Structure 1
Amino acid sequence: MDDDIITIREVAEYLRLKEKTAYALVAKGEIPGFKVGGSWRFRRSELEKWIVRREGNEADRS
């Protein structure tokens, strides 16, 4: 199995969020994800890129 694809539970653990918060963020389109058979899936590499972009945005505000 390709461990680059992770579940919403794994995203919540990875980002240290509650699952409910992860669901809310992905529903708003703030976290990159896609649905497979009604379940959210995420590419770990895309989440890492998203984190880097977020870090860049925070640095711009300082």
Structure 2
Amino acid sequence: MNTNKINEDNYISIEEAATYLGIKTVTLRNWIKKKPDIPAHRLGKLWKFKRSELDDWVASGKSAE
């Protein structure tokens, strides 16, 4: 079993997602409010992301809108 693939699909925090995208956490929080198509998941009070979904979102060009 490829553990790298499993780790890539684990949920990451908003801080990790911002770092992964190369932006500041405050920018990502603003995007969550303003971009309804961003692949963010609310778990209680925390926002979580999957790298694979972020990759797909960026590749789709929706992040540039």
Alignment TM-score, normalising by the size of structure 1? 0.75
Which residue of structure 1 lines up, in the alignment, with residue 31 of structure 2? Answer: 25
Q: CA RMSD in A?
A: 1.9
Give unpaired runs (5+ residues) of structure 1.
none
Write out per-residue CA displacement over residues 5-51 of structure 1, whole angstroms, 9 at most, x where no aligned residue.
Answer: 11100111011111000001012224211100111001111101001
How much identity, in percent, do the aligned residues show? 36
Is residue 2:57 matched to residue 1:50?
yes
| Matched residue count | 55
Give unpaired runs (5+ residues) of structure 2.
1-5
CA distance in 2, matches of 1:30, 1:9: 19
Alignment TM-score, normalising by the size of structure 2? 0.72
